[in-house]
Structure 1
Amino acid sequence: MNAEIPNRSKRILSIDILRGLVMIIMALDHTRDFFHIDAMTGDPLNPDTATGILFFTRWITHFCAPTFVFLSGLSAYLSAQNKTRAQASSFLLKRGLWLVFIEIAVVSLGLTFNLQYNFIILQVIWAIGWSMVFLALISRISYQIVLISGFALVFGHNIFNLFPALENQTTGLILKIFFTAAGTVVPLSATHLVGVFYAILPWTGIMFLGYGIGVWFNKNYNVERRQRNLLITGSLTVLLFIALRLINSYGDPAPRKEYHELFKNVLSFFNVSKYPPSLQYACMTLGPAILILAFTEKLNNRFTKIASVYGAVPFFYYIIHFYLLHTILVIAFFATGHSTKEIVQVPFLFRPVAFGFSLPIVYLIWFGVVASLYLPCRWFKKYKETHLQWWLSYV
């Protein structure tokens, strides 16, 4: 089987920079989940209880998942340019199903360290996988249908917030999994649970929109025109977020709460729903992401070179960082005097509720983990550039 991997010499640097940046930031949230003392008991985005630095630590990571999904759609469009429509669809279908399997078998294990899989966690890779499956089907029809479907899903899925929950249990569960999941736990047996934390179709809409702007990144597309389009689109998206947030009537499951303190009102303004990704959340995160794509079009410095290394091998980085973080967690668990009786916790083994460190320690661990993965990512990036095995197109 021939390898179907892009020529790394033709990679678009701005995409790798943005993707690398969000991969670096993403690790901060996972580090906080594993190591912050209040991660299992508090809400870092609650304006009533959060400090500014705690709120920011969680809020800044909101940009990661939608940007990554958006760029996955963009990359899918670029990859399809070297294939027939049938070939591109077939590849997306196989890669999507592969990612769903990886989420269940590999990512969940890295998160929980539970070899019995008592709690399977379905998050962003699950959503990307199914989004690719849907993209494989819709893209066979036409590019225009993908774009229209993307707008309909992103702008329209919050309509479900206006109606009461369905009484039929099966129909209600299907609706949650596809549209409204905000932490839906499905029991498989008395000892095994599945947590669906990413509703599929709102994320599919974001991927479709990423696919939609792919035409701006064709090799023959004028660079200045692309940059102008990105600046206009990103700016309008940010303005739409501000307008929707001020109107406060549509685009988020929970209306913005008013406080008598300026600080709490600022936090409340930016406290939008990620589960599922509301329209306001999508605008808040994708607007700046699109602007960064524009600003990094011709940017080339030490930091962008480092970020682009992570961005060139995101799947490799994503898998490895979970296992590294959880291994450090096991070491910290025993080093802080916890016993084997405390190992079994839900959902994470070796992560008791009464465990953790202050935010400065969390940041220190995060920096160490990201820095330690730079050389492995650089090695794998070079490996992909110099090898043609078919499986490299799936990682």
Structure 2
Amino acid sequence: MSSSISSTTVKRIDSIDVLRGIVMVIMAIDHVRDFVHDQAYTGDPLNVLTTTPVLYFTRWITHLCAPTFVFLSGLSIYLQSIRKTKGELSSFLFKRGIWLIFVEFGLISLAMTFNPFYNLLVFQVIWSIGISMIILSLLSRLPYKIVLAVGLLIVLGHNSLDFWEAEPGFKAGFWWDLLHHGSFAIYPINGDHFLAIMYPFVPWTGLMILGYCFGIFFTSKFTSAQRQKILLWFGISLLGFFVVLRGINVYGDPHSWTTQTDGFKTFLSFINVHKYPPSLAYMSVMIGIAMLGLAFLENLHNLITNVFRTFGRTAFFYYILHFYVAHLFAMILFFYNGHTMDDARKALQKIPFLFQIPGEGVGLGGVYLLWILLIIGLYPLCKWYDGYKSAHKEKWWLSYL
């Protein structure tokens, strides 16, 4: 299929980078909140009985980020397949997947915990993207229709496992948690070292595969106007599918929505879909929104989109840095409040992240202020790195960053 596509398709499509940049910026709100909000470890921001509307949507809007990033990763891989042979693409994906897993354990775990002894290793979104790339490195050698069928089977069917998991006495175990069930499941490695499975990878792999298959619409087989119509159709259809699926309240999410004391709270319960692992309902609404975003951004070029484009073109670089900056904010607040390193070590008995104490931190207004400062501070670095990458395309290692 790709061999018949003209070389004009290899040019970078700005709307992909802009949307990726938007979700990366939004994502930082939630991570800053995790590190500095005074309610970060005292309650669930999506609990309709205890939350506030502002706190709820501060958390809910960031649900858009991981699925959009994973989907766009798959889409970008398809565009790479146009200028690479199947062997070259497979080799690249396998090596990049291994590299991402290494970064997850080596850099992201450290950024999240600030613990140089690595007492906790995290299986978070970068790990799931890495293992998904390794799997896609194998699938990419197969015919397009087979790859699409595998992606649809996983995304549409994985919630059937919820019925098994809901059975009385069900116990996941390590491999089951790693594949599907894990939601912050903790497992010992040895002694005082543990790993936390935050992102079981199979559903995310399915989403990346569908993103890969969707990449066909971003080739020269389709004009910009045709692609925009397709994106609008898919976006609206996915949102409609979400409403029907969620309304039936039988399949597609392990947690049913319930009628609350008023209509607004019932609405919040309705849209509160499961992320760990990503349910069919969750992926439908979030990717539906992402599709509409891509349609809106198709031919939009201005100063604001240029800023987001910079973040999107340096997403991995930005992702690593923003975790360290957000945790640095927490450390500064920790010592500003008069705590000592001895207090930090004692706090580790409650949560595995240094310089955080449940109930301490700043209010939601302070979270937004620090988020804005983080974005402003990282933009010049991302702008520089984007320029460096553009000026040194001959450096092969930049393709891994």
| 1:372 equivalenced with 2:386 (yes/no) | no
In 2: Cα distance, 1:331 partner to 1:163 partner: 46
In 2: Cα distance, 1:149 partner to 1:354 partner: 45
Post-superposition offset of 1:150: 1.1
In 1: Cα distance, 2:259 partner to 2:182 partner: 26
Counterpart in the other structure of 2:65: 64
- Specify the code of the residue in structure 1 equivalent to 2:356: R
The alpha-carbon distance between structure 1 residues 178 and 9, as it changes in their structure 2 partners (threshold 3 A), is: closer
Counterpart in the other structure of 1:155: 156
For the residue of structure 1 that corresponds to 2:190, the secondary structure is: coil
Counterpart in the other structure of 1:3: none
- Specify the code of the residue in structure 2 equivalent to 1:392: L
1:124-152 superposed Cα distances (whole Å, 9 cap, x missing partner): 00000000011101111122222111111
- Specify the code of the residue in structure 2 equivalent to 1:316: F
In 1: Cα distance, 2:279 partner to 2:317 partner: 29
In the comparison of the two structures, how many residue pairs are matched? Answer: 389
Conservation of the 8 A alpha-carbon contact between 1:165 and 1:172: no
Conservation of the 8 A alpha-carbon contact between 1:112 and 1:349: yes
Post-superposition offset of 1:168: 9.0
Counterpart in the other structure of 2:296: 295
Q: How do 1:1-395 residues align onto structure 2 when only pairs under 5 Å count? A: 10-164=11-165, 172-344=173-345, 345=348, 346-387=351-392, 388-395=394-401
Note the residue ranges of structure 2 that are not aligned, 5 or more in a row: 1-6
Post-superposition offset of 1:40: 0.9
In 1: Cα distance, 2:355 partner to 2:55 partner: 23
Post-superposition offset of 1:341: 1.8
In 2: Cα distance, 1:207 partner to 1:295 partner: 22
In 1: Cα distance, 2:313 partner to 2:184 partner: 31
In 2: Cα distance, 1:368 partner to 1:70 partner: 28
The alpha-carbon distance between structure 1 residues 8 and 340, as it changes in their structure 2 partners (threshold 3 A), is: farther
For the residue of structure 1 that corresponds to 2:122, the secondary structure is: strand
In 2: Cα distance, 1:219 partner to 1:118 partner: 49
The alpha-carbon distance between structure 1 residues 215 and 164, as it changes in their structure 2 partners (threshold 3 A), is: closer
1:186-235 superposed Cα distances (whole Å, 9 cap, x missing partner): 11123011000101010001101110111111145322111111111111
In 2: Cα distance, 1:359 partner to 1:308 partner: 27
In 2: Cα distance, 1:99 partner to 1:192 partner: 21
For the residue of structure 2 that corresponds to 1:144, the secondary structure is: helix
Conservation of the 8 A alpha-carbon contact between 1:7 and 1:385: no
In 1: Cα distance, 2:385 partner to 2:56 partner: 34
In 2: Cα distance, 1:357 partner to 1:7 partner: 50
Conservation of the 8 A alpha-carbon contact between 2:94 and 2:133: yes
For the residue of structure 1 that corresponds to 2:16, the secondary structure is: helix
For the residue of structure 1 that corresponds to 2:338, the secondary structure is: coil
For the residue of structure 1 that corresponds to 2:83, the secondary structure is: coil
**TM-score, scaled to structure 1:** 0.95
In 1: Cα distance, 2:97 partner to 2:344 partner: 34
Conservation of the 8 A alpha-carbon contact between 1:8 and 1:385: no
For the residue of structure 1 that corresponds to 2:290, the secondary structure is: helix
For the residue of structure 1 that corresponds to 2:121, the secondary structure is: strand
Conservation of the 8 A alpha-carbon contact between 1:23 and 1:311: yes
The alpha-carbon distance between structure 1 residues 143 and 278, as it changes in their structure 2 partners (threshold 3 A), is: same
1:321-343 superposed Cα distances (whole Å, 9 cap, x missing partner): 11111122211111111122221
Greater CA drift, 217-226 or 206-215: 217-226
The alpha-carbon distance between structure 1 residues 9 and 337, as it changes in their structure 2 partners (threshold 3 A), is: farther
In 2: Cα distance, 1:8 partner to 1:212 partner: 15
In 1: Cα distance, 2:195 partner to 2:8 partner: 39
Conservation of the 8 A alpha-carbon contact between 2:110 and 2:118: yes
In 2: Cα distance, 1:227 partner to 1:95 partner: 31
Conservation of the 8 A alpha-carbon contact between 2:33 and 2:40: yes
Greater CA drift, 87-96 or 342-351: 342-351
Post-superposition offset of 1:172: 3.5
Conservation of the 8 A alpha-carbon contact between 2:10 and 2:79: no
Counterpart in the other structure of 2:4: none
In 2: Cα distance, 1:392 partner to 1:109 partner: 22
Conservation of the 8 A alpha-carbon contact between 1:90 and 1:136: yes
Greater CA drift, 217-226 or 193-202: 217-226
- Specify the code of the residue in structure 2 equivalent to 1:222: T
For the residue of structure 2 that corresponds to 1:265, the secondary structure is: helix
In 1: Cα distance, 2:363 partner to 2:70 partner: 31
Post-superposition offset of 1:352: 1.3
Post-superposition offset of 1:7: 11
- Specify the code of the residue in structure 1 equivalent to 2:74: G
Greater CA drift, 146-155 or 359-368: 146-155
In 2: Cα distance, 1:164 partner to 1:368 partner: 43
Note the residue ranges of structure 1 that are not aligned, 5 or more in a row: 1-5
CA RMSD in angstroms, aligned pairs only: 1.8
The alpha-carbon distance between structure 1 residues 26 and 260, as it changes in their structure 2 partners (threshold 3 A), is: same
The alpha-carbon distance between structure 1 residues 371 and 137, as it changes in their structure 2 partners (threshold 3 A), is: same
